[in-house]
Structure 1
Amino acid sequence: MPTATLRGAKSGVNYFMDGFRLIRQPGIRTFVFVPLTINLVLFAGALWFAVGELQALFNWMDAQLPDYLGWLDILLWPLAIITLLVVMAFVFSSVMNWLSAPFNGLLAEKVEQKLTGKALNSGTTVDLIKDLPRILGREWLKLKYYLPRALLFLLLFWIPILGQTVAPILWFLFSAWMMAIQYCDYPFDNHKVPFKDMRFALGNTKGSAMSFGATVTLFSMIPIVNFIVMPVAICGATAMWVDKYREAYRHPVIAPE
C-alpha cells in the first residue's frame, strides 16, 4: 500500500483557509454555485415550513398561558429561532452530503485541475451518471463507518462524571476525524482510491487531518457561515490531497487483503 508523502509544512487549518480563496477562482465558482444554490433553496423551504409550525406552537402556548405571561414570547422566540437554525444546519449538512455528492466530486476534480494544470479525464456527463451508484455507495461507506462509532461515543455522555468531562472532548475529536474523512474522501474517490486506503493515508498524516477536521467542525457550528463550509472544505481538502497524497495515490490502488 502506498504511503502518503509529507510534502509541504502547511497545517490542516491553513488548507481549510485556502478553501476560501479557491472557491472564488474562475472555473471553480460554477461548481460551488450549483450545490450551494440547491442547499439554500432546500434550507429556505424547510425553514419557512418550520417557522410556520413554530408559530402555530406559540399560538397554542399563548392560548394556554395567562395574559401576564405574554412577555415570554419576547424571550422565547429568539431562543427558538437560534435553536432551529443550529439544528437545521446540522441536519442539512448531513443531507446535503448525499444530495451534493456528485457535484462535490466535480468540484474536487476542478480544484485539482486548477492546482496541477492537469485534467483528470474523468469522462462525460454520461460517465458521471454511470458513476452515481459508486459515488452514493461511497457515501454509504462513510455512513456505515460513522454510525456505530458515533453511538459508542454518545453512550459515554450517559456515564456519570465521564459524560460531563471526557465525553465532550472525545466527541469533538471524533467529529474532527469524521470531517477530515468526509471531505478528503472526494479527491481520493476521484482517483478510485479505496475507502480504507484513504483512512490509512489520513492516519499517516493525522496532525494535518485532525487540524483540518477540527477547523471544519468549528466553522460548521456557526449558523449562516456553515452554508459555505462544504465547498470551502472540499477545496481545502483537495489542496491538501495535491500537496500530501497525490504522488503516492495518483493511480488506482488495490488495497491488500
Structure 2
Amino acid sequence: MGQVKSAGSEFLTGLRLLGRGFARYGRSPRLLLLGAIPAVITCALFAVGWVFLLGYIDEIASAVTWFADDWPAGWRRLVEFGAGAGILVVAALISVLTFTAITLLIGDPFYEAISEKIEDGLGGTPGVVDLPWYRTLWPSIVDSVRLIAVGIALAIPLFLLGFVPIVGQTVVPVLNAIVGGWLIALELTGIPFNRRGLRLSDRRKILRGHRPLALGFGIPVFLVLLVPVVAIIVVPAAVIGATLLTRRVLGLSIEEPASAPHTVAR
C-alpha cells in the first residue's frame, strides 16, 4: 500500500514539474514567441498529414481489412471500425513522437539555451560537457530515431489489439498514453542529459528508477500534444519541465535560491 501511495505521489510530482515548466515559460512574452516558432513549422507539416489521414480513414481501414470483404455486413463494419481506431491510435503515438523529435531538432539551439538558463538559475549544471550545439546534433538525431523506432515497434501490438471489441476502444488508448508518455519523457530529457554527456541508454536507466515521476510528467505532455494548436506552446514549456525532471532524478535542487532572479523571464 505504501509503495502505491509513493508511486502516486511521484506521479503527481511529475505533473507539477510540467506545471512549473508552463509557469516559467509564461513569464516572458518574448520566449513565448520564439519558443513557438519551431513548433509552428512542425505543426504545419503534420497538419497536412492528419488532414489526409482523417479524410481517408474509412478507405484505409477498409483496405487493411481486405480479409473481411466477404463477411456479413455487421461483422465487417465492426472489424473496419476496430482497424480505423487502431490506425488512429498508432498514428497518434508515432505523430507525437516524431513531432517532438523534429521540433526539438529545428529549435535545438534555442531550447538548449532555455534549458541551460534554467539550470544556471538553479545553481549550474554539474558534470557539464561544453560542446557546441552542432557537435551534439547528430547524436540527438540518432537517439530520436531509436526512440521513434521503439514507438513503431510498440505500436504494432497496439494496432492489433485495436481489432478486439471494447478492449481496442478502452484499454488500447490507455496503454497508448502510457507508452507515449514514457517515450516522450525520454525524448524531452535528451537536452539536459546530453549537456552532461549522457546518451539515451543513460536516460533510460536513470528514468527507469523513477518511472512514476517520469510518467507523471510524460503522460500529460503526450496527451496535450494531441491537440494541434496547444502543441505549439507545449514543447518549450515541456523542455523546461524536462530540465527540472532531469535535475530531480539526478538528485539536484529544483528550487531557486531566494535571491536568485527569474532567469527565463528576462
Q: TM-score range by the shorter chain?
A: 0.5 to 0.7
- Between the two proteins, the alignment pairs up a number of residues equal to 203
Deviation at 1:196, TM superposition (A): 1.7
Residue 221 of structure 2 corresponds to which residue in structure 1?
A: 216
Tell me which amino acid in the other structure corresponds to 2:103.
M
Is the CA contact (8 Å cut-off) linking 1:180 and 1:209 kept in structure 2?
A: yes
> What do the CA deviations read for 1:168-203 (whole angstroms, capped 9, x no partner)?
221121111122112122211221113122112111
Question: Are 2:37 and 1:37 equivalent residues in the alignment?
Answer: yes
| Residue segments in structure 2 that go unaligned for 5+ positions in a row | 1-8, 53-91, 253-266
* CA distance 1:144–1:103, shift in 2 (3 Å): farther
Deviation at 1:219, TM superposition (A): 1.9
Question: Are 2:231 and 1:226 equivalent residues in the alignment?
Answer: yes
> What do the CA deviations read for 1:113-139 (whole angstroms, capped 9, x no partner)?
222245876547xx2223322222222
Deviation at 1:147, TM superposition (A): 2.0
What CA distance in whole angstroms lies between the structure 2 residues aligned with 1:12 and 1:132?
A: 27
Residue 202 of structure 1 corresponds to which residue in structure 2?
A: 207
Question: Are 2:185 and 1:183 equivalent residues in the alignment?
Answer: no
Percent identical residues: 23
* CA distance 1:150–1:110, shift in 2 (3 Å): farther
Matches within 5 A, 1:95-106: 95-106=102-113
TM-score (norm 2): 0.62
Tell me which amino acid in the other structure corresponds to 1:185.
G
What CA distance in whole angstroms lies between the structure 2 residues aligned with 1:190 and 1:131?
A: 9
Secondary structure of 2:240's partner?
Answer: helix
What CA distance in whole angstroms lies between the structure 1 residues aligned with 2:245 and 2:111?
A: 16
Secondary structure of 2:122's partner?
Answer: helix
Structure with larger Rg? 1
What CA distance in whole angstroms lies between the structure 2 residues aligned with 1:176 and 1:121?
A: 27
Q: Which has the higher contact order (CA 8 A, sep 6+)?
A: 1
Deviation at 1:16, TM superposition (A): 0.2
Is the CA contact (8 Å cut-off) linking 1:102 and 1:132 kept in structure 2?
A: no
Is the CA contact (8 Å cut-off) linking 1:113 and 1:119 kept in structure 2?
A: no
* CA distance 1:156–1:20, shift in 2 (3 Å): same
Tell me which amino acid in the other structure corresponds to 1:153.
L
* CA distance 1:141–1:42, shift in 2 (3 Å): closer
Is the CA contact (8 Å cut-off) linking 2:21 and 2:239 kept in structure 1?
A: yes
Deviation at 1:101, TM superposition (A): 3.7
* CA distance 1:182–1:15, shift in 2 (3 Å): same
Secondary structure of 2:38's partner?
Answer: helix
Structure 1, 235-244 or 153-162: larger mean CA deviation: 153-162
Deviation at 1:215, TM superposition (A): 1.5
Tell me which amino acid in the other structure corresponds to 2:193.
F
* CA distance 1:211–1:119, shift in 2 (3 Å): closer
Deviation at 1:97, TM superposition (A): 3.6
Matches within 5 A, 1:1-257: 11-24=13-26, 30=31, 33-41=33-41, 43=43, 90=96, 92-93=99-100, 95-117=102-124, 123=130, 127-247=132-252
Secondary structure of 2:197's partner?
Answer: coil
Tell me which amino acid in the other structure corresponds to 1:38.
P
* CA distance 1:122–1:109, shift in 2 (3 Å): farther
* CA distance 1:47–1:101, shift in 2 (3 Å): same
| Residue segments in structure 1 that go unaligned for 5+ positions in a row | 1-7, 54-86, 248-257
Secondary structure of 1:193's partner?
Answer: coil
Residue 250 of structure 1 corresponds to which residue in structure 2?
A: none
What CA distance in whole angstroms lies between the structure 1 residues aligned with 2:47 and 2:180?
A: 25
Q: CA RMSD in A?
A: 3.6
What CA distance in whole angstroms lies between the structure 2 residues aligned with 1:35 and 1:139?
A: 20
